[in-house]
Amino acid sequence: MNRVTPFTNAAVDQLAHAKHELVHVQITVIAVLVILLLEEEVFRILRPRDAVVVRTIRIAAGVLVVAFAAVIVSRAFALR
Amino acid sequence: MRRRLIAGRIGPARRTTATAVVAIVVVECLVAIGWLVAATVLDAIVLIALLNHPMVGEEQSSGGRALRVLVLVPLLRLVTLMLALKNVSDAGRYVLEGIPLLVAALAVGGNLRRWQRRFSFDKKQATIAAIGALLSLPAYYIARPPALFDPMGPLQFAAGVVILVLFVGATEELIFRGAVQTALVDLFPRTGVLWASVLFASVYLAVKPVTYIPFIAALGLGWGIVVKRTGTVSGSIAAHGLLLVGLLLLWPSVLG
């Protein structure tokens, strides 16, 4: 792995070799995603938000959903 | 009176934005020293705090815009850490992480008409791109990274160019120069470029070797100044993309 971009650096390399730590990181990101989805769907009913905030939350949640889907797909390929 | 009113509104916005920038830099320092779980938790807190700040909803205010685009930096870090999988190649990683972040940068950074204005390409932008291509040689001698593909055929080279220019160069430039710098310059007209460059340098703190950090930080500041003066990001996108093409495709195959 090259370590010269923010996408491929020493931290990514460290996590790739530390399964436990990676699982903790992924659980934290899933927690963030759940909070964002709750904010978008549930809290919006309780507390109406500006359209721009809803849009930004949706974008952030969308990015994390895509990343999470990528994790699942690559794990499925690894299992094969 | 009007100036005092505006100052009264901008003051808290500047303080909040500066605090957010400092928090993001602290997270990146934690990433650099390898405290990755702590960094992820803190990044998650920063992301949720940014999205829940009352100022974020102020569509027209520069403070609201700055907080909205700052969301992109913790997102970038969370996605890269989450996808730190052993079985994914560097090229695959760039595509998987680049696509959602590129779309997010375009969506958060403004509407399509605003982006169209920022994509003009002229002689000046071509010169900036050429300088980026030339700087790839010193970059290679500093970092000495392995080639993106091994073995490297013409097809791999062509795919590598698309991946590096689009999913790394363009993604980083649209986030840091296109979205973050534009919003920070609105809020901090004198020091906005510097704030954005500090954020850009901070996401590079975990790269190896460490001598590459001042090199890329200086380049980031240079691209920031160029983007502020010319008003377009196309030159810096091309320069960043060509720098990466030289660094990870051309020079490792020719000199490695």
Candidates A14, A46, A59, A71: best to mutate against B (most CBs of B within 10 A) is: A59
Mean per-residue pLDDT over chain B, rounded: 91
Distance CA B193, CA A28 (A): 32
Tokens 């001042």 correspond to B214
Report the pLDDT averaged over residues B143-151: 93
Report the pLDDT averaged over residues B165-182: 95
Lowest mean pLDDT among A48-57, B218-227, B241-250: A48-57
Report the pLDDT averaged over residues B111-130: 78
Report the pLDDT averaged over residues B121-127: 90
State the pLDDT at residue A48.
74
Report the residue from A2, A29, A78 with minimal CB separation from B90: A2
pLDDT in tens, B71-106: 999 999 999 999 998 888 999 999 999 999 999 999
Residue B21 predicted with pLDDT over 90: yes
A4 part of a folded domain: no
Report the residue from B37, B56, B244 with minimal CB separation from A56: B56
Contact B244, B129 (CB under 8 A): no
**Tally of domains in chain A:** 1
A57 part of a folded domain: yes
Angle between the N-to-C axes of helices B36-52 and B2-33, in degrees from 0 to 180, rounded to the nearest 10: 160
Residue B9 predicted with pLDDT over 70: no
State the pLDDT at residue B187.
93
Tell me the pTM.
0.93
Percentage with pLDDT > 90 across chain B: 79
State the pLDDT at residue B36.
96
Both tokens of residue B106? 């375009």
> What type of residue is B11?
G
Report the pLDDT averaged over residues B127-145: 96
pLDDT in tens, A49-73: 788 888 899 999 999 999 999 999 8
Q: Is A72 on the interface with B (CB under 8 A)?
A: no
Q: Give residue A74's domain range.
A: 10-79
A65 part of a folded domain: yes
A5 part of a folded domain: no
A2 part of a folded domain: no
pLDDT in tens, A18-55: 989 999 999 999 999 999 999 887 777 777 778 888 88
3-state SS of chain A: helix, strand, coil percent to 5?
A: 80, 0, 20
Tokens 């030339």 correspond to B134
